[in-house]
Amino acid sequence: MKIDRLHPPPQLDNLSRHGLHTYFREGWELEEQLFASVDPGALNRQPDPLRHPLIFYYGHSAAFFINKLRMAGLRPRGLDDHLDTLLARGVDPATRDDLTTFAWPSKTQVSNYRANVYTIVSELINALDLPQGPVDAGNPLWALLMALEHQRIHFETSSVLIRQLPTACVAKPDMWDYASCDRSPAVEPRWLEYAPKTVTVGRPAALAQYYWDNEVGSLRVDVDRFFVRSTLVTNAEFLEFWRAGGYHRREFWSDRGWAWRSRHEVTHPRFWVDCEPAAATASRPRYRAMFDTLALPPHWPVEVNAHEAWAYCAYIGNRTRLPSEAEYMRITATAPLTAGDCIDHHGYNLNLRYASARAVGAASSCTTPEGLADPFGNVWQWLVDDFYPLPGFTPHPYYRDFSAPYFDRDHAMLKGGSWASTGTSASRWYRLWFRHHFYQHAGFRLASSATPEG
């Protein structure tokens, strides 16, 4: 989707009825456009065995609006007791056996439900008594802002699932454009050295945009000297690992990574298709974009899960690893930004600038003074950290299980946003996490505490 400009998130210190309407309508229409690309008969499909069928995701954001507005006292009752409950059942299974099967509603039922929710939220915004001063997390309006951002999170989640459908089940909308698949590299990779420095992890309290509970807090970290690769790992670079038999060499994988790879007989990245045996070194896999199969774009970032990223690090050797969150904050501290917290309109591949990744380093205006390309956007960047709370973490009463259940060794962190990240997901402070074997529009870059070779 080639969009010149999406609206930034509402400002907490200057909420307006028009601004809330515009942001709500935009998020809603983006979701409608995305699901309109899917053949109606495919909405009952389960593109990822660890996720519900697509019909759930079509209705989930709408149910979230109703349930959270009711919880905050902004709406006295639910809309449909059955659908309000059924469409709220998010999932995070470790295996497909942990996923409960339900009798899902039809598209007509969910479409009617969504239409009613749209009317309810629009009328509520019209009737709101907006405060004169800033809105904080204790204000009932927080439930509305939460639902607005939640919808944008699930727009991206749904796009990852739809991308896993057979191409016969989807049709690229006219307004969706992929980035150029130019076969010439945009920039040559190199190792960058960073001197020791103390950094702060956590969102500054003064910023006037919505935030999630796990972003609140301030953690000072002494970062030792380290090195980081200037570019994200590309399809061409990962192709060498694949051709070297990386998916069949136990020495490159963690215990849990190898168990996952073996259990599911994984032999290549999820979004590579038509893969001949890796031993056929002249073969070149093809690439599954959102709606089409393309020739593998060699200079686009590879998209993998955390297990695959770690295996590639082991293949490179020399104590190569993923960056930590503190190191990520260090390398992006000098990244070009627009005013305040907003990084969406500075040339980064965020906010649906394209309906795809693009060549790493394609926008020189987004490169840091040190030479780090793609500090934000293009694809999410896997980190070495498991998801953890910042000091003083307190779950928000409207969504107590948004973050708290996932502070464990089963969920790895990601930062930076992808081409499909919009709203506050496209903020430098947003902290994302997924199980190590889950897929997102996510890639990685290399880091090392040792002096790299080459």
Residues 62 and 207 in one domain: no
Q: Which amino acid is at 236?
A: A
Write out the residue range of the structural domain in which residue 184 sits.
177-454
Segment (H or E) for 81:
helix 81-86
Show the low-confidence residues of the chain (pLDDT under 50). Answer: 1-2
Residues 203 and 278 in one domain: yes
164 within domain boundaries: yes
Based on the structure, what is the number of domains in the chain?
2
Length of the chain in residues, anyone?
454
Question: 413, 96, 94: which is closest to 256 by C-alpha?
Answer: 94
What confidence score (pLDDT) does residue 1 get?
A: 44
3 within domain boundaries: no
Domain harbouring 347, CATH code: 3.90.1580.10
**Domain-terminating residue out of 118, 148, 169:** 169
Residues 341 and 450 in one domain: yes
279 within domain boundaries: yes
Residues 161 and 249 in one domain: no
12 within domain boundaries: no
By the 8 A CB rule, do 414 and 383 touch?
A: yes
Residues 149 and 187 in one domain: no
Segment (H or E) for 257:
helix 255-263
Q: Which amino acid is at 403?
A: S
By the 8 A CB rule, do 212 and 404 touch?
A: no
Residues 162 and 281 in one domain: no
272 within domain boundaries: yes
DSSP 271-286: TEESPPPTT-TT---E
Domain harbouring 161, CATH code: 1.20.120.450
**Domain-terminating residue out of 150, 169, 188:** 169
For 13-34, give one letter per residue: b (16+ CB within 10 A) or e: eebeeebbeebbebbbebbeeb
Residues 46 and 143 in one domain: yes
What confidence score (pLDDT) does residue 202 get?
A: 95
Residues 444 and 295 in one domain: yes
Residues 137 and 193 in one domain: no
Residues 143 and 192 in one domain: no
Residues 162 and 191 in one domain: no
By the 8 A CB rule, do 438 and 307 touch?
A: no
Rounded to whole angstroms, the Cα distance separating 286 from 226 reads 35
**Domain-terminating residue out of 169, 188, 206:** 169
104 within domain boundaries: yes
Residues 152 and 203 in one domain: no
What confidence score (pLDDT) does residue 207 get?
A: 83
What confidence score (pLDDT) does residue 30 get?
A: 95
Q: Residue 343 is encoded by which pair of tokens?
A: 């990084």
270-279, pLDDT tens digit by residue?
A: 999 988 775 5
What confidence score (pLDDT) does residue 99 get?
A: 67
Q: Residue 11 is encoded by which pair of tokens?
A: 């400002």
